[in-house]
């Protein structure tokens, strides 16, 4: 990012449980009505406690306040935990990239 954390239309959020940092999320505004989650990371010791789900819900609320109408993100096909989380939150698969190792 050209201006690091100060790059326009990009927001970095620390995910916390009370005062304890448990992860981070990077959200950007791609257009007037479309947002993109570039990265979400829950630190390993805190995975499986619902912090990812809560963070996704919070970033959706932030996006709505920005006037965003839809959010996109990328998830690797093998990441079943994340894919299930996003599906449970109402995200749908919009594109599938396939790969074959030779």
pLDDT per residue as tens digits for the range 77-88: 999 999 999 999
Three-class DSSP category at 83: helix
- State the Cα–Cα distance between residues 52 and 86, nearest whole angstrom: 10
Whole-model pTM: value is 0.87
Reported as a single tens digit per residue, the pLDDT across 17-68 is: 999 999 999 999 999 999 999 999 999 999 999 999 999 999 999 999 999 9
Closest CA to 88 of 59, 61, 65, 56: 56
For 1-102, list the strands marked E by DSSP. Answer: 10-17, 20-29, 34-42, 70-73
Is the pLDDT reported for residue 2 higher than 70?
Answer: no
Distance CA 56, CA 42 (A): 11
**pLDDT at residue 84 in the model:** 94
pLDDT digits (tens, 9 = 90+) for 4-31: 777 888 999 999 999 999 999 999 999 9
Fold observed for domain 4-88: Aminopeptidase (3.40.630)
pLDDT at 60: 96
């Amino acid at each position: 990012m050209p201006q690091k954390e100060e790059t326009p239309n990009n927001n970095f959020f620390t995910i916390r449980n009370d005062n304890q940092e448990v992860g981070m999320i990077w959200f950007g505004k791609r257009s007037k009505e479309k947002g993109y989650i570039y990265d979400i990371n829950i630190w390993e010791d805190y995975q499986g406690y619902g912090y990812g789900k809560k963070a996704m819900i919070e970033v959706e609320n932030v996006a709505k306040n920005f006037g965003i109408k839809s959010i996109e993100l990328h998830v690797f096909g093998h990441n079943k935990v994340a894919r299930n989380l996003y599906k449970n939150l109402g995200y749908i698969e919009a594109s599938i990239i396939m790969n074959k190792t030779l």
